[in-house]
Amino acid sequence: MDSEKFITLRKGLLEFLILGIVSSGRVYVADMMQRLSATDFATQEGTLYPLLSKMRRDQLVDYEWQESETGPPRKYYKLAANGRKQLAEFREYWKSLTSLIDELGKPSCKQ
């Protein structure tokens, strides 16, 4: 799954996956990476921080600072109103896409 086409596809999906992770509650960047680490979407902070900053500008996510025991305060992300809406839209769309892809492979019923 490392061909250029799949890589491009995954790049576009990452943002929606982040929305999915953030929808589970307040999450820290390390939690996001942990969640994605064993998947095809494993990513690094060098990618995540610019993406999260863009998502915040689009009002998809928001963050708040929380004190940490081991270091400086950390940013904890949560879904913003647009993000909730977009995640629901994406899930619907994804469902319709997968059923479409399944359908397309099958021979047509009307012979």
Partner 1 sequence: MQTVIQVSLSGHSKAFQLEEDAYTALHAYLERARSRLKRDPDYEEVLRDLEQSIGEKLAHSLRAENRVISRREVQVVLDEIGAVNTGNGDTADTAQTDRPRRLCRIEEGKWIFGVCQGLAVYSGIAVEWVRAIFVVVTVFTGGIPILIYLVLMFALPVVHTYDEYNASLRTHSGAM
Q: Using CB atoms within 10 Å of the CB of residue 27, give its burial: 0 to 12 exposed, 13 to 18 middle, 19+ buried.
A: buried
2 binding partner 1? (CB under 8 A)? no
Q: CA-to-CA distance for 54 and 37, rounded, in angstroms?
A: 22
Asked if 3 interacts with partner 1 (CB under 8 A), we say no
Identity at 34, one-letter amino acid code: Q
Residues 52-111 interacting with partner 1 (rule: CB under 8 A): 53-54, 56-57, 70-73, 75
Per CB under 8 A, the list member of 6, 49, 93, 94 interacting with partner 1 is 49
**Nearer to partner 1 (CB atom), residue 57 or residue 106:** 57
